[in-house]
């Protein structure tokens, strides 16, 4: 089977977001930054305001709770923006032209070959560990941090089905 597609920077950014959102270590960091850090800051705001400034504890409680709630509500959006900006900066630091562009994927009985304008990558089908499907992407993971990124925007339903069943076809 041969599949032609074009990989854009936005596809790579989506891959990074999905990967980070599902990484156990990144999930821990995310929840610490979303809940624990603002909780500690809220306690500090209350303590400093009520004790050091010797003002009404009700006022500082409301202020600390307000800070905590606002952080918890707005942090996911800010976290996503930060991740996207960091990834864009990393992509702009060097020549990543071979990463993007038109690709041709050839799936044979024992190997998956992805050919771009400047490179060709071959992966044994048995080395495809995990296949994850999202609305906009199909990811063929060959390690815990490396994947073949295939945007679904130009794929037919048959091609999507073939790609998502690639691992089960290995076992036959």
Q: Is the pLDDT of residue 103 over 90?
A: no
Q: Domain check: are 119 and 87 in the same one? A: no
- Provide mean pLDDT across the span 124-146: 86
- Provide mean pLDDT across the span 12-38: 91
- Per-chain mean pLDDT for the chain: 87
- Provide mean pLDDT across the span 97-123: 84
Q: Would the pTM of this model clear 0.75, i.e. be above it? A: yes
> pLDDT band at 172, cuts 50/70/90?
very low
Choose among 114, 96, 97, 117: nearest CA to 105: 114
Domain total in the chain: 2
What is the percent of the chain with per-residue pLDDT over 90, rounded to a whole number? Answer: 33
Q: What residues does 113 pair with on adjacent strands?
A: 106, 122
CATH code at position 155: 2.30.29.30
Q: Domain check: are 32 and 87 in the same one? A: yes
Q: Is the pLDDT of residue 35 over 80?
A: yes
Residue 153: which domain range?
2-8+99-171
The kind and range of the H/E element at 141 are strand 137-141
Backbone torsions φ then ψ of 137, nearest 5 degrees: -145, 155
Q: Domain check: are 122 and 88 in the same one? A: no
Q: Domain check: are 16 and 55 in the same one? A: yes
Q: Domain check: are 86 and 103 in the same one? A: no
**81-93 pLDDT per residue, tens:** 999 999 899 888 8
Q: Is the pLDDT of residue 169 over 60?
A: no
| pLDDT confidence of residue 44 | 94
Backbone torsions φ then ψ of 140, nearest 5 degrees: -105, 100
Contact at 8 Å (CB) between 38 and 76? no
């Amino acid at each position: 089977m041969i599949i032609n597609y074009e990989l854009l920077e936005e596809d790579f950014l989506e891959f990074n977001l999905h990967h980070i959102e599902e990484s156990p270590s990144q999930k821990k960091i995310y929840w610490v930054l979303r809940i624990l850090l603002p909780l500690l800051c809220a306690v500090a705001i209350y303590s400093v305001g009520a004790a050091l400034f010797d003002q009404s504890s009700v006022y500082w409680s409301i202020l600390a709770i307000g800070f905590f709630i606002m952080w918890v509500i707005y942090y996911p959006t800010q976290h996503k923006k930060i991740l996207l900006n960091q990834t864009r900066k990393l992509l702009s630091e060097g020549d990543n032209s071979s990463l993007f562009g038109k690709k041709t994927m050839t799936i044979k009985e024992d190997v998956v070959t992805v050919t771009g304008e400047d490179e060709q990558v071959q992966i044994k089908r048995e080395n495809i560990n995990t296949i994850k499907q999202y609305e906009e992407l199909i990811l063929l993971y060959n390690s815990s941090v490396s994947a073949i990124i295939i945007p679904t925007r130009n794929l037919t339903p048959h091609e999507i089905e073939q790609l998502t069943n690639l691992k089960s076809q290995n076992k036959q």
